[in-house]
Amino acid sequence: MADLKDLFTAVVEMQEDTAMELTNKYLDEGVPALDIFNCYQEALEEIGKRFEKQLYFIPELIMSGEMMKAASEILKPHLSEETSASGGQKKLGKVLMATVQGDIHDIGKNIASMMLDLNGLEVKDIGVDVPAETIIAEAQAFGADVIGLSGLLTLAFDPMKAVVDKLEEQGLRDKIKVLIGGGQMDEQVCNYVGADAYVTDAVVGVNYIKGWLS
């Protein structure tokens, strides 16, 4: 693999324009697209580490997601279908993400979905205000290992509980883990809902899920 140190640094240091210039330059110079793609992956891993150390926060996650998206657009035509679809790595497991019925907030869910994706999980995000029945049907069709339920408002507590109750009714509870996330989540709510864990922070959520799937 070519030494792409300057590209790695540009991505990690949020130098968006430099990263794009270097990506184009290396492609023009004949560096394999996969090498460039892997460099981005490594940079994102470093960004994730900095996030865990509380050196980086949401702006950096959003910026890195944008840089990755822009790079993928350029690199995709040069990568084989197989490598681009899987990012060259085997996915750790499948997570279905949704904001529960009644709640239309999506920022937290979107950030969590992005973080999970960057951490090697296969994510299906089915949007906001999703009824429990739809969440369960989609999770089954997708073959989800984990359901991630998001909700910012207190009105999300009961719809979250409805998902867990229905999973139990349908005999699926022991096959699928349930993680709830949002500003008002705590242990009290987690017990009420019957979820496996609660989070108020995307990285903690990623760690729970990786722990469950390892």
Instruction: Point out which residues bind another protein (CB under 8 A).
Output: 14, 16, 54-59, 62-63, 66, 102-105, 107, 110, 129, 153-155, 157, 183-186, 188-189, 191-192, 200-201
Q: How far apart are CA 166 and CA 206, in angstroms?
A: 24
Q: In this complex, which beta carbon is closest to another protein, that of residue 79 or of residue 150? A: 150
Q: In this complex, which beta carbon is closest to another protein, that of residue 6 or of residue 60? A: 60
CB of 161 to another protein, least distance (A): 9
Distance of CA 146 to the CA centre of its chain: 12
CB of 103 to another protein, least distance (A): 7
Q: In this complex, which beta carbon is closest to another protein, that of residue 103 or of residue 145? A: 103
CB of 37 to another protein, least distance (A): 22
Q: In this complex, which beta carbon is closest to another protein, that of residue 32 or of residue 102? A: 102
CB of 68 to another protein, least distance (A): 13
Q: In this complex, which beta carbon is closest to another protein, that of residue 16 or of residue 138? A: 16
CB of 195 to another protein, least distance (A): 13
Torsion 211-154-59-39 (CA) sign:
positive
CB of 157 to another protein, least distance (A): 6
Q: In this complex, which beta carbon is closest to another protein, that of residue 126 or of residue 213? A: 126
Query: 116 phi and psi, to 5 degrees?
Result: -65, -45
